[in-house]
Amino acid sequence: MTKRVAIFTLGCKTNQYESEAMAGLFRREGYKQVTFDEKADVYIINTCTVTHLGDRKSRQMIRRAVKKNPGAIVAVTGCYAQTSPGEVLEIPGVDLVIGTRDRDRIVELVEEAEKSPVPVNAVRDIMSQRLFEDMSILDYENRTRAFVKIQEGCSNFCTYCIIPYARGPLRSRSPDKVLDEVKRLVEEGFKEIVLTGIHIGAYGAGLEEKTDLADLVVRISLTPGVKRLRLGSVEPLDITPRLIEAVAGIRTVCRHLHIPLQSGDDYILNRMNRHYNTFEFSRLVGAIRSQVPDIAITTDIIVGFPGETAERFENTYEFVKETAFSKTHVFKYSPRKGTPAAGYPEQVPAEDKDARCKRLIALDRENQKNFARQFLGRSMEVLFEQPAGEEEELWEGLTDNYIRVLVKSSEDLKGQFADVRIVKLKGTNLLGKMKI
Ligand code: SF4
C-alpha cells in the first residue's frame, strides 16, 4: 500500500525550501504526497520560532495532525523543534522531533520512529554544527521562480533574535553545488532564481575557498540560460561595493535589495546589537541608488523594541519616510525566551506596539505608491506568474525591481516575460498594456 505523506511549513523561504526538499526525499522513496487537510500516514510539521506566534501556530498544526489521524507518524522539524524539543515532546501524539539538523535523513528517521514504542527525540546540538546540510529540491510544482538555498546559520546575535540558537553558526554551500542546482533549474525552464538562506550576506563563511556573495552572483549570472537572479535578504554590513557593482552592472541581476534596517533610532539600533547607525545606513542607500537607477530597496522594521519611547519611534517613522523604501515589512517586537532583549526593562505595552505598527503600515502604503508611480508611462519587463484572479484574462507578474504589474491578455502568460507599457496605478500595484 503506497504510504501518504503530508507536510505543513511555517515561517521563512528557507523553511519552505527545506520542506520541498524533504517532500522530494519521501516521493523518491515511493511515498505519495497529499495535502495537509487529507488523511496521511506521515505528517511533517516544519516549525518556526521567530515570534511567539510561530511557536503557538506550530503547536496548533501539530495537534491538528495528531487529531487528523491518531495512527499516523507525526514528526516535527525546524526552528521551534530545535529550540524547544521538550515542549514539542509534551504534545500527545508526537512521535519524532528532529529540529534543524538531519532533515536529509528524514525518511530513515521517520521509519525508525515507526518501530519505536516511545517518542524519539533526535534533536542534536546545532551550535557545534560546522557542515552545510546539502539538500536540494528534486522537483517543483511551478516553473517560474525557484528558490536556491545557499547558506545556513547566523552568528550576529542581534539581541531580539532567536535564529542563531535555532540555526547555529554560519555555514555555506559549495559554489559548485549551487551552480549545479542552478544549471538543473535553468534546464527545467525556470525563469527566475532567488538566492535564499538565513544570512546570505555572509555567504562564503565556513568554506575552505575564499569567496563571497558577490562572487557567487557573478558566477551564477554567467551560467547560460539564467534570465533573472534575485537576492533574498542581505544585512546592511554585508553589502560590499562589489555586490553593488554586480547589481548595477549585470542585467540578469534584479534591481532589488532587501536590507533589514530594524529601527530608525540609533539608541535602539545599539540596543539591538546591529553594529550600524542611521547615518551609515542612509549613506549605504545613497551609494546604491546613485549606482543603480530605479532600484527597489525594501526593508524590515521591528516596532516596540524595549526602550522604544514615543520619541524614538518618531525617529524610526521619519527615517522610513525620508528613505522612502519601496516596501517596508513591519513586525511587532516579540520577546523570545533565551534572547538578551527578552530580559530588558522598558518593555513596550501591546497597545503602543499596535498603534505604531498601524502608522508604519500606512506610511509603507504611501511609500509603495510613490515608488510605483515613477514608472507611469514607461515600459517595463514583467515576468508573469499566474492569473490575478480578480477579473477574466487578468494576469499578474513582477518587474525585476519588485513591482507587481497587472495586464489583460487572452494568452496564457504563465512563466512568460513580456514588455508592458505602464498606464495606471492600482493600489500599490501597476496596471499595464502589452506592447505589440
Ligand atoms: S542577522 Fe540578526 S536578525 Fe538576522 S538572523 Fe542573524 S541574529 Fe537574527
Residue 356 shares a structural domain with residue 392: no
Single-letter amino acid, residue 239: I
Q: What is the pLDDT of residue 417?
A: 95
From the CA of 275, how far away is ligand 1's center (Å)?
12
Number of domains, the chain = 3
Residues 6+ apart with CB under 8 A from 29: 107
pLDDT for 389: 78
- Which cell numbers in the block locate residue 400? 525585476
DSSP-derived pairing of the beta strands 32-33 and 4-9: parallel
| Lining residues, ligand 1, CB within 6 Å | 154, 156-158, 161, 163-164, 198-199, 235
Is 71 a member of any domain?
Answer: yes
Kindly report the CATH number assigned to the domain that includes residue 204.
3.80.30.20
- 51-100 pLDDT tens trace: 999 999 999 999 999 999 999 999 999 999 999 999 999 999 999 999 99
pLDDT band at 392 (very low <50, low <70, confident <90, very high): confident
- Domain assignment present for residue 184? The answer is yes
Q: Ligand 1: which residue has its CA nearest to atom 8?
A: 161
Find the 47 Cα to ligand 1 centroid distance in Å: 18
Position 143 confidence tier, pLDDT thresholds 50, 70, 90: low
Tally the C-alpha atoms within 13 A of residue 235's C-alpha that lie toward its C-beta. Answer: 18
One domain for residues 96 and 155: no
| pLDDT tens for each residue of 226-281 | 999 999 999 999 999 999 999 999 999 999 999 999 999 999 999 999 999 999 99
As a whole number of angstroms, the distance between CA 382 and CA 370 comes to 19
Provide the 3-class DSSP secondary structure of residue 408.
Answer: strand
pLDDT at residue 390 above 80? no
Q: Which of 53, 55, 57, 73 is nearest to 65 (CA)?
A: 73
105 pLDDT more than 80 = yes
Band of residue 391 on the pLDDT scale cut at 50, 70, 90 = confident
Q: Phi, psi at residue 327, to the nearest 5°?
A: -160, 135
What is the maximal distance between C-alpha atoms in the chain? 67
Question: Do 361 and 407 reside in the same domain of the chain?
Answer: no
CB 169 within 8 A of CB 198: no
| Residues 160 and 108 placed together within one structural domain of the fold | no
**Contacts for 411 with CB less than 8 Å, ≥ 6 apart:** none
Q: How confident is the model at residue 144 (pLDDT cuts 50, 70, 90)?
A: confident
Residue nearest to atom 4 of ligand 1 (CA): 199
Question: In this model, does residue 44 exceed pLDDT 70?
Answer: yes
The rounded percent of the chain whose pLDDT value lies above 90 is 93
Of 141, 4, 1, 2, the C-alpha closest to 68 is: 4
220's enclosing H/E stretch is helix 213-221
In what side-by-side order are the strands of the sheet with 145-149? 145-149, 192-196, 228-231
Which tens digits make up the pLDDT trace of 290-339?
999 999 999 999 999 999 999 999 999 999 999 999 999 999 999 998 99
Which of 408, 279, 425, 431 lies closest to 365 in space, CA to CA? 425
Please report, to the nearest 10 degrees, the dihedral formed by the alpha carbons of residues 331, 335, 338, 341 taken in order.
Answer: 90
* Residue type, position 377, single letter: G
Q: Domain holding 28: CATH number? A: 3.40.50.12160
Give the domain range for residue 217: 145-373
Spacing, Cα 158 to ligand 1 middle (Å):
6
Calculate mean pLDDT across residues 410-420: 94
Residues 391 and 364 in one domain: no
Ligand 1 atom 1 nearest Cα: 156
Query: 95 φ, ψ to 5°?
Result: -105, -25
Which candidate, 48, 103, 109, 41, places its Cα nearest to that of 81?
48
Nearest atom within ligand 1 for CA of residue 154: 6
Rounded CA-CA distance 11/13 in Å is 7
Which cell numbers in the block locate residue 356?
505604531
Residue 191 domain-assigned (yes or no): yes
Element (H, E) at 385: strand 379-387
- Please check whether residue 291 lies inside any domain of the structure: yes
The string of DSSP letters for 78-115 reads EHHHHH-HHHHHTSTT--EEEETS-GGGHHHHHHHHHH
174 and 311 in a common domain: yes
Same domain for 195 and 314? yes
For ligand 1, mutation pick of 152, 235, 269 (most atoms within 8 Å of CB): 235
pLDDT, residue 254, reads: 98
163: CA distance to ligand 1 center in Å?
A: 6
pLDDT band for 1, please (50, 70, 90 cuts): confident
C-alpha 56/C-alpha 54 separation (Å) is 6
212 plus 184 within the same structural domain: yes
Please check whether residue 134 lies inside any domain of the structure: no
Mark which of 121, 155, 174 sits at the end of a domain: 121
End residue of a domain, out of 331, 356, 373: 373
Average pLDDT over residues 411-419: 94
Are 173 and 188 within 8 A, CB to CB?
A: no
Average pLDDT, the chain: 95
Ligand 1 pocket mutation, candidates 154, 237, 334, 339, criterion most atoms within 8 A of CB = 154
Is residue 221 pLDDT above 90, yes or no?
yes
With pLDDT > 70 as the criterion, what percentage of the chain qualifies?
98
Which of ligand 1's atoms lies nearest the C-alpha of 274? 2
Does residue 72 contact residue 94 with C-beta atoms inside 8 Å?
no
Regarding whether 427 and 279 lie in a shared domain, the answer is: no
| Residue 127: inside a domain | no
Nearest CA to ligand 1 atom 2: 158
304 occurs within a structural domain: yes
H helices of 227-309, in order, are 241-249, 266-271, 278-291
> Would residue 131 count as lying in a domain?
no
Tell me the CA distances in angstroms from 260 to 54, 238, 429, one per residue in order. 20, 11, 22
- Are 117 and 218 in a shared domain? no
Cβ–Cβ under 8 Å, residues 417 and 382: yes
User: Given this model, what pLDDT does residue 137 score?
Assistant: 80
Chosen domain end from 73, 88, 121: 121
The pick from 13, 50, 127, 156 for probing ligand 1's pocket by mutation, whose C-beta has the most ligand atoms within 8 angstroms, reads: 156
Residue 428 belongs to a domain with what CATH number? 2.40.50
So what's the pLDDT on residue 141? Answer: 58
Amino acid identity of residue 155, one-letter, is S
pTM for the full predicted model: 0.94
> Is the pLDDT score of 218 beyond 90?
yes
On whether both 358 and 248 belong to a single domain, the answer is: yes
Same domain, 92 and 231: no
